[in-house]
Chains A and B, each alone.
Chain A
Amino acid sequence: MSYASFVIQLLNGLAAASSLFLVSAGLSLIFGVTRIVNFAHGSLYMLGLYGAYSLIEALGRTPLGFWSAVILAALAVGLVGVVIEVVVLRRIYRAPELFQLLATFAIVLVIKDVALAVWGSEDLVGPRAPGLAFPVEILGRRIPAYDLLLIVIGPVVLAAMWLLLARTRWGALVRAATQDREMVGALGVDQARLFTSVFFVGAVLAGLGGALQIPREPANLDLDLSVIADAFVVTVVGGLGSLGGAFLAAVLIGVAKAFCIGFGFSKLTLVVEFVIMGLVLVMRPYGLLGKPPATARFGEPAPPLQPPRRWPVVAWLVAFAVVPLLGDRYITVLMTDIACFALFAVSLHFIMGPAGMVSFGHAAYFGLGAYAGALLFKKAGLPMELALVLAPFVAGLFAVVYGWFCVRLSGVYLAMLTLAFAQISWSVVFQWDELTAGSNGLVGVWPSMWLSGKPAYYYMTLALCGLGIALLWRALFSPFGYVLRAGRDSPLRAEAIGIDLRAFQWAAFVLAGTLAGLAGAVFAFSKGSISPSSVSIAQSTDGLVMVLLGGVETLTGPVVGAAIFTWLRDTLARETEFWRAALGVVILLIVIVFPQGLVGGLKALYARWRPA
């Protein structure tokens, strides 16, 4: 590579880094003050991009029209942020931390469909920046003038944010709240106004990041999740709550991606940021410039976990067992899906509830189990039954490797690292055409003759997933499971009574991964095909929604959550094109009415009525 192309790739990377920095800075700011991991931040970025597109069309492709559109779009997105904070999040600040995450998932779904309704499903290519469309010649190469401007905007915004935080009263409050939220509340600061303003600024940054990309990137509906994954990586690599860190990380990742393209390894672009993140987290667990997170002093302790009573479980099993007798093919297929997702959700709950390790990337094991089953069957030529039995152990092997890194971290950092591993798995599956058939997925993954009828396959699914769930529940009440719960309650005390907590958590990770792999493999053979979406972020978030919807602090919650979510999604998808928004609204309603999840909420209601 010549010196000239080196410089050009560097400039390319820096131009891409600016938007990445803006969106990540907003995410980091919001997390620092409100402790909410805003999954909808990528959606706000997407809205900025779409908004800028429409506003430019309306205001005219002149420099004035372009820049007014960019700024108006950013401000409009800021208002969307305010609406989200006031209408939804403000009602649930006192709910368990993870519930706010569920609410932001729902907002992702709603915004996606709003964008679909307003702008349609076609990619929208924006105009080049009027007045800055000319190329500038650097070392004999041409680079768009607009890119050079973007390179300047990043540091300018960093400086402006720094001034805002360092020199204003608002900034002082934000810094104080980031360090110790309870203390700021105790000092009589109006938290509601502070949070709303922080959401506004954070959303404006995301909107601006999106709007500024309009000459470089077409507006499309997949941006929400891809941008949020990028923004997670940047904030975690930089260190949560550190603006300078976010900038450094954005530059590092932007440049690394540009060089991957420049060197002709464009396939690596999907993986490289996650590799950087993995390396950084293992060496500096709190990011490049981050500090260990301040622990919340008044965190509610988890309530005791009750073992399931026998008769309801038996009743459920009987109910499940008679399903095929109804003779309705649709219901049998739906119940097969529900059984697979129930095991998936219970395995996720196993590590995030009792073991206290939240995973944003549990689909990795589901998807890898599914692919392992399909590949062992199709490529290795194993009998279907053997492929099905071996597939979970392949997923388990991945959990051994991924888990080794993940259990070294905790809290949000752990969650982000799980996301990173899932994304790496997804990109490998997506790009390895020879093995996985890439985005088309694998077809012809059918079960053996004796299982080919829907009822027969359903009974096998029920047996395998039921056994998996029983195993996980049993383990939770064994000494092993008690160690996990004890370690979640107080890692310090666990260590002080001679427990090697990390080893137990690693084992839990592997167990949960293996059983998620079983769920995936059973699912693959039930559909006859498997696609990369089974490893995607969307699949991981589905799992989280199921667990949180049912209630993370109950045992049966994940099963109920999986059933309701799967049924609701299926039903809504048949009724309306905008099923995501409908699903999102339903989830939001549940979040606001039942802040302990469905099962938790019903238990609370039951407890209230019983003594009367």
Chain B
Amino acid sequence: MNGVVLRVDALHKAFGGVQAVEDVAFAVSAGELLALIGPNGAGKSTCFNMLNGQLEPDGGLIEFEGRNIVGMSPRAIWRLGVGRTFQITATFASLSVRENVQMALYSHAGKLTQFLSRFGSELRPEADALLAQVGMLDQAERPCGVLAYGDLKRVELAMALANQPRLLLMDEPTAGMAPRERVALMELAARLARAQKIAVLFTEHDMDVVFSQADRIIVLDRGRLIAGGLPAEVRANRDVQAVYLGSGH
């Protein structure tokens, strides 16, 4: 693997007296898909929200391309070149699919403060190119508010790619989707990420998706990393089996 894009070290976060994330460390390289898994309440979301700037860690280091991003706002982190998708899709329901992607493109180009020009006349080919990548070009004119859930996920992916990110954070990318769609969506994300040398960190509940798409897997339990490695290694790990299957097995 070439260059490390995201490096996390000694990450800590406590809520009240509860250690939600404790001494977590990992790294993701360009073009690599790293899955962060663990049972409910393991600290995945907390971890994620610290990476994308919504939560401030109590301690530790988060380095994006060698630069410490702890304490930066989600906006600033995005500007550095980090894209993200949400567990529950967040798109602009009253705008069309193309306009959604154009919003991200306009923002990236610093064109949003224009006050009198008509929105949508610029960056249209770029938006359509992104939509074509995720297979949504034929629905470009439809408002996002009427789309099927799986299609919304694709629009989100296109928006997340609009600022040409070097790191993509995907929180439960396939949550709420039908099983067959899940693998397809993650395959799409993986293909685009590898082609564009984007580092991807994703959390996921669906083990089929994780083991078929991730290059490496790290496992979080009660705030601590208990295992990490290639899918086959993680699958064979005793501790991981105990966490997922219960200690009685």
> Known contacts A492-B86, A493-B86, A496-B84; is A481 also within 8 Å of B95 by CB?
no
Q: How many of chain B's residues have a CB under 8 angstroms from any CB in A?
A: 36
- Residue A304, interface by CB 8 Å: yes
Could you say which residues of chain B place their CB within 8 Å of the CB of A340?
none
Interface digits, B75-112 against A, CB 8 Å rule (1 contact, 0 not)? Answer: 10011000010100011111110010001101110011
Q: Check A492 against B90 for contact (C-beta < 8 Å).
A: yes
- Looking at the assembled complex, report how far the CB atom of A297 sits from the nearest CB atom of chain B, in whole angstroms: 10
Q: Check A497 against B78 for contact (C-beta < 8 Å).
A: yes
**In the complex, what distance in Å separates the CA atom of A479 from the CA atom of B111?**
7
Interface digits, B54-86 against A, CB 8 Å rule (1 contact, 0 not)? Answer: 000000000000000000011100110000101
- Residue A404, interface by CB 8 Å: no
- Residue A292, interface by CB 8 Å: no
Q: Check A303 against B145 for contact (C-beta < 8 Å).
A: yes
Q: Check A479 against B112 for contact (C-beta < 8 Å).
A: yes
Interface digits, A484-519 against B, CB 8 Å rule (1 contact, 0 not)? Answer: 011011101111111110001000000000000000
Q: Check B92 against A475 for contact (C-beta < 8 Å).
A: no
Binds A, one of B15-23, B114-122, B190-198, B233-241: B114-122
- Residue A204, interface by CB 8 Å: no
Interface centre among A304, A479, A495 (most CB of B within 10 A): A479
- Residue A7, interface by CB 8 Å: no
Q: Check A482 against B116 for contact (C-beta < 8 Å).
A: no
Contact of B116 among A302, A303, A474 (CB under 8 A): A474
Q: Check B113 against A479 for contact (C-beta < 8 Å).
A: yes
**In the complex, what distance in Å separates the CA atom of A500 from the CA atom of B74?**
10
- Looking at the assembled complex, report how far the CB atom of A204 sits from the nearest CB atom of chain B, in whole angstroms: 40
**In the complex, what distance in Å separates the CA atom of A490 from the CA atom of B94?**
10
Report, as a range, how many residues of chain A touch the other chain: 20 to 34
- Residue A477, interface by CB 8 Å: yes
Q: Check B117 against A489 for contact (C-beta < 8 Å).
A: no
- Looking at the assembled complex, report how far the CB atom of B100 sits from the nearest CB atom of chain A, in whole angstroms: 8
Q: Check B94 against A489 for contact (C-beta < 8 Å).
A: yes
> Known contacts A479-B112, A480-B114, A481-B119; is A497 also within 8 Å of B94 by CB?
no
Q: Check B74 against A496 for contact (C-beta < 8 Å).
A: yes
Q: Check A483 against B112 for contact (C-beta < 8 Å).
A: yes
Could you say which residues of chain B place their CB within 8 Å of the CB of A500?
75
Could you say which residues of chain A place their CB within 8 Å of the CB of B84?
496
Interface Cβ pair total, 8 Å cutoff: 101
> Known contacts A302-B94, A493-B90; is A482 also within 8 Å of B75 by CB?
no
Contact of A478 among B94, B103, B115 (CB under 8 A): B115
- Looking at the assembled complex, report how far the CB atom of A306 sits from the nearest CB atom of chain B, in whole angstroms: 11
Contact of B107 among A304, A475, A499 (CB under 8 A): A499
**In the complex, what distance in Å separates the CA atom of A475 from the CA atom of B118?**
8
- Residue A605, interface by CB 8 Å: no
> Known contacts A303-B143, A486-B95; is A480 also within 8 Å of B159 by CB?
no
Could you say which residues of chain A place their CB within 8 Å of the CB of B107?
497-499
**In the complex, what distance in Å separates the CA atom of A301 from the CA atom of B163?**
26
**In the complex, what distance in Å separates the CA atom of A479 from the CA atom of B106?**
8
Could you say which residues of chain A place their CB within 8 Å of the CB of B94?
301-305, 485, 488-489
**In the complex, what distance in Å separates the CA atom of A498 from the CA atom of B93?**
18
Could you say which residues of chain B place their CB within 8 Å of the CB of A483?
103, 112
Contact of B79 among A479, A482, A490, A498 (CB under 8 A): A498
> Known contacts A474-B116, A496-B90, A499-B75; is A304 also within 8 Å of B96 by CB?
yes
**In the complex, what distance in Å separates the CA atom of A493 from the CA atom of B94?**
13
Q: Check B95 against A499 for contact (C-beta < 8 Å).
A: no
Contact of A497 among B118, B119, B162 (CB under 8 A): B162
Contact of B99 among A482, A493, A498 (CB under 8 A): A482
Q: Check A478 against B95 for contact (C-beta < 8 Å).
A: no
Q: Which of B161-217 contact A (CB under 8 A)?
A: 162-163
Q: Check B93 against A489 for contact (C-beta < 8 Å).
A: yes
Q: Which residue of B lies closest to A553 (CB)?
A: B94
Could you say which residues of chain B place their CB within 8 Å of the CB of A504?
112
Could you say which residues of chain B place their CB within 8 Å of the CB of A498?
75, 78-79, 107-108, 163
Q: Check B114 against A304 for contact (C-beta < 8 Å).
A: no
- Looking at the assembled complex, report how far the CB atom of B86 sits from the nearest CB atom of chain A, in whole angstroms: 7
**In the complex, what distance in Å separates the CA atom of A489 from the CA atom of B107?**
16
**In the complex, what distance in Å separates the CA atom of A483 from the CA atom of B159?**
15
Q: Which of B103-158 contact A (CB under 8 A)?
A: 103-104, 106-108, 111-120, 143, 145
Known contacts A482-B112, A489-B93, A498-B163; 13 additional CB pairs below 8 A are A304-B145, A478-B118, A479-B111, A479-B114, A482-B99, A483-B103, A489-B94, A492-B86, A493-B92, A496-B74, A497-B162, A498-B79, A498-B108
| Interface residues in chain B, defined as those with a beta carbon under 8 Å from any beta carbon in chain A | 52, 73-75, 78-79, 84, 86, 90-96, 99, 103-104, 106-108, 111-120, 143, 145, 159, 162-163
- A-B pairs, 6 with minimum CB distance: A301-B93, A301-B145, A493-B90, A489-B92, A486-B92, A498-B78
| Interface residues in chain A, defined as those with a beta carbon under 8 Å from any beta carbon in chain B | 301-305, 474-475, 477-483, 485-486, 488-490, 492-500, 504
